[in-house]
């Protein structure tokens, strides 16, 4: 527990403590503080939480995670001697935190508002709650770091595996207790005296250890056609969603949080405009997990740092998030981490860097921006854990480039790192084409390594079908340029037909209504069948054209508009089979 320093104490009696020399927003310098880099300190009479970020001679520089107004030189600074850590254990799910892992509901109770939280300390997980612990080891078993020693039902959806902390030695189990315990009770004792509790701590800026990182070969299926079908992300993959305001970033993130086939969702709301984050805080607890019918929060941990929270807490929030993600990965789960938005995180870095008077890089961002971004995305991956299980952390970062300009440093540096890029497009959103992901600009570098999975689990010709769609869409965008100059009717008939096929790809396949109860989630099988229906139309239509049928008659065939309704069909297999037959029949009747 921390203790408040008394101003009248002498330097000798508080050896480790220092005195504030200057305060500049979130950056405070202290004199005579005996500290190491990244130590957590308590600043001022109110004991505001901060972290050491620079040491030069006698002067220690601290970034403070709370509002510093009213704090002044001469006040004490107390060093905890520990780095910034998160509490890990049951209770992380179904909780909303701020950037330094203080549960918002606890803060609200203590302070009357989640945003007026100066000097309040709250444990990251509830300390007095009892959990039913079921041991999975017995006396005499030998356990190593990372090994699972028991299970707790954390929420209706998730079994929480209690593991030997990675920094323990491990040994022979001398006692294992079954029953109700708090997170700080000892549940398993080892012969070397090590006591295993449900709670462990981990420094946020350090990746949790793993055995190996593997090439990811399983898709994180999202149920969104354009993503699974054209630009898939792997379990353990990285993706960026840059999106100008109003382009559907929030809806896309919500769809992913709801439908991505991850076991655990960690959602880091990093300094978005206050009201947007409030929306997430209000919305998420209402959402249902479509695969279980349980509340979505039962598999979600939410970290919410609004832009009216101090800048330094925004800097730390993505680390808190990814550490929680790694902890569940260690249990063998697939975790999807969403950070919204990494631009605000980068801006926090920029602000702190400028207060430190560091040499600025591009657009005032610190020179280490690229390194920080890549350190963050590096922690994603498909891992073999130290306990032999496999687990993954997929990292999806939203980027909000000012004015939608993708050439700015945060977007550019992110693009160099991530392997999937879903470019949201304000023009598409304006035309009400949703999800407004631009298919010409987006890409995924995972398609090749994920194809075998789709071939095995959906259809053997999945890669060819995708390539066909990509080619038609490419051709369409070239043809559109000509159409703009000379009009559609000036095109040869085969090209007019291609435009019609592409129209169905755009309107039926790429568009998907997040608010329709059926269309909102499209299983890969349905994605595939929709594509092959359009492909059937294409092949039969070109046969008819070759047989001399005029293009106007072909594109006017009665069955065709029903392609646009595949998305909303629950019994899509039957519907698609009939539709393919009818399209074929009606087109063949023309010649």
Q: Please identify, using beta-carbon distances, which residue of 447 and 512 lies nearer to ligand ADP.
A: 512
Q: Tell me the window of 102-110, 239-247, 383-391, 524-532 that interacts with ligand ADP (CB under 6 A).
A: 239-247
Please tell me whether residue 250 binds ligand ADP under the rule CB under 6 A: yes
Please tell me whether residue 515 binds ligand ADP under the rule CB under 6 A: yes
DSSP line for 40-71: EEEETTTTEEEEEEEEETTEEEEEESS--TT-
Please tell me whether residue 513 binds ligand ADP under the rule CB under 6 A: yes
What is the distance between the terminal CA atoms of the chain, rounded to a whole angstrom?
85
Task: Rule CB under 6 A: choose which of 245, 539, 546, 556 binds ligand ADP.
Answer: 245
Please tell me whether residue 404 binds ligand ADP under the rule CB under 6 A: no
Please tell me whether residue 247 binds ligand ADP under the rule CB under 6 A: yes
Task: Rule CB under 6 A: choose which of 229, 248, 391, 397 binds ligand ADP.
Answer: 248
Please tell me whether residue 271 binds ligand ADP under the rule CB under 6 A: no
Q: Are 359 and 286 in contact (CB under 8 A)?
A: no
In whole angstroms, what is the distance from residue 521 CA to residue 407 CA? 33
Please tell me whether residue 251 binds ligand ADP under the rule CB under 6 A: yes
Residues in binding contact with ligand ADP, number by CB under 6 A: 15
Strand pairing partners for 22?
29
Q: Tell me the per-residue interface mask from 333 to 352 with ligand ADP, x by CB under 6 A, - otherwise.
A: --------------------
Paired sense of beta strands 131-135 and 179-181, if any: antiparallel
Contacts 24+ apart (CB under 8 A), 497-500: 497/541, 497/542, 497/545, 497/551, 497/554, 497/555, 498/472, 500/541, 500/551, 500/554, 500/555
Which strands, in side-by-side order, build the sheet including 148-153? Answer: 159-163, 148-153, 131-135, 179-181
Residue among 204, 184, 161, 436 nearest 324 (CA):
204
User: Binding residue per annotation — 249?
Assistant: yes
- The CB-of-280 to ligand ADP minimum distance in angstroms stands at 10
- The CB-of-333 to ligand ADP minimum distance in angstroms stands at 27
Q: Tell me the per-residue interface mask from 122 to 161 with ligand ADP, x by CB under 6 A, - otherwise.
A: ----------------------------------------
User: Binding residue per annotation — 374?
Assistant: no
Angle, alpha carbons 436-317-184 (nearest 5°): 130
Residues 6+ apart with CB under 8 A from 497: 541, 542, 545, 551, 554, 555
In whole angstroms, what is the distance from residue 141 CA to residue 136 CA? 10
- Phi then psi for residue 302, to 5 deg, are -115, 125
Q: Give the footprint of ligand ADP on residues 408-437 (CB under 6 A).
A: 429, 434-435
Q: Tell me the window of 20-28, 234-242, 243-251, 474-482 that interacts with ligand ADP (CB under 6 A).
A: 243-251
Q: Are 587 and 535 in contact (CB under 8 A)?
A: no
Please tell me whether residue 568 binds ligand ADP under the rule CB under 6 A: no
Task: Rule CB under 6 A: choose which of 160, 249, 299, 350 binds ligand ADP.
Answer: 249
Q: Which parts are annotated binding residues? A: 243-250
Q: Which parts are annotated binding residues for ATP? A: 243-250
Residues that bind ligand ADP (CB under 6 A): 243, 245-251, 429, 434-435, 512-515
């Amino acid at each position: 527990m921390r203790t408040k320093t008394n101003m009248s104490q002498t330097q000798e009696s508080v050896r480790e403590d220092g005195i504030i020399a200057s305060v500049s927003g979130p950056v405070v310098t202290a004199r005579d503080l005996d500290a190491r880099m990244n130590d957590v300190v308590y600043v001022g009479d109110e004991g505001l939480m901060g972290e050491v970020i620079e040491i030069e001679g006698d002067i220690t520089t601290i970034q403070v995670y709370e509002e510093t107004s009213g704090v002044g030189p001469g006040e004490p600074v107390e060093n905890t001697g520990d780095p910034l850590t998160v509490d890990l254990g049951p209770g992380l799910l179904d909780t909303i935190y701020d950037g330094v892992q203080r549960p918002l509901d606890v803060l609200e109770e203590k302070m009357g508002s989640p945003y007026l939280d100066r000097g309040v300390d709250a444990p990251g997980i509830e300390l007095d709650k009892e959990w039913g612990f079921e041991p999975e080891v017995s006396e005499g078993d030998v356990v190593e770091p990372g090994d699972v020693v028991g299970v707790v039902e954390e929420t209706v959806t998730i079994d929480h595996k209690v593991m030997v902390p990675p920094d323990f030695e491990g040994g022979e189990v001398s006692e294992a207790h079954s029953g109700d315990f708090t997170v700080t009770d000892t549940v398993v004792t080892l012969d070397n005296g090590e006591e295993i509790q449900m709670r462990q701590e981990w420094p946020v800026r350090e990746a949790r250890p793993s055995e190996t990182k593997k090439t990811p070969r399983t898709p994180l299926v999202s149920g969104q056609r354009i993503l699974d079908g054209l630009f898939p992300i792997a379990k353990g993959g990285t993706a960026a969603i840059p999106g100008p305001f109003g382009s559907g970033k929030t809806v896309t993130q919500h769809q992913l949080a709801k439908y991505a086939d991850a076991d655990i969702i960690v959602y880091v709301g990093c300094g978005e405009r206050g009201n947007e984050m409030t929306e997430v805080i209000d919305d998420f607890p209402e959402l249902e997990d479509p695969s279980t019918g349980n509340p979505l929060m039962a598999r979600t941990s939410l970290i919410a740092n609004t832009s009216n929270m101090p800048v330094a807490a925004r800097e730390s929030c993505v680390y808190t998030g990814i550490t929680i993600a790694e902890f569940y990965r260690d249990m063998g789960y697939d975790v999807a981490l969403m950070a919204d938005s990494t631009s605000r995180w980068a801006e926090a870095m920029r602000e702190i860097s400028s207060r430190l008077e560091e040499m600025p890089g591009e657009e005032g961002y610190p020179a280490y921006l690229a390194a920080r971004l890549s350190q963050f995305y590096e922690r994603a991956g498909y891992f073999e854990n130290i306990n032999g299980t496999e687990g993954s952390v997929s990292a999806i970062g939203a980027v909000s480039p000012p004015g939608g300009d993708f050439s700015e440093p945060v977007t550019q540096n992110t693009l160099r790192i991530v392997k999937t890029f879903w470019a949201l497009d304000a023009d598409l959103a304006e035309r009400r084409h949703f999800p407004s992901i631009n298919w010409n600009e987006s890409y995924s570098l995972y398609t090749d390594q994920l194809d075998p999975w789709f071939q095995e689990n959906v259809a053997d010709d999945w890669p060819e079908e995708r390539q066909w769609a990509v080619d038609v869409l490419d051709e369409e965008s070239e043809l559109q340029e000509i159409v703009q100059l000379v009009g559609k009717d000036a095109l040869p008939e085969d090209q007019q037909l291609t435009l019609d096929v592409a129209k169905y790809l755009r309107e039926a396949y790429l568009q998907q209504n997040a608010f329709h109860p059926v269309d909102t989630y499209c299983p890969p099988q349905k994605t595939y069948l929709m594509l092959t229906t359009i492909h059937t139309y294409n092949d039969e239509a070109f046969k008819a054209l070759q047989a001399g049928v005029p293009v106007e008659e072909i594109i006017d065939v009665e069955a065709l508009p029903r392609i646009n309704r595949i998305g909303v069909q629950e019994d899509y297999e039957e519907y698609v089979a009939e539709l393919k037959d009818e399209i074929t029949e009606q087109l063949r009747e023309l010649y």
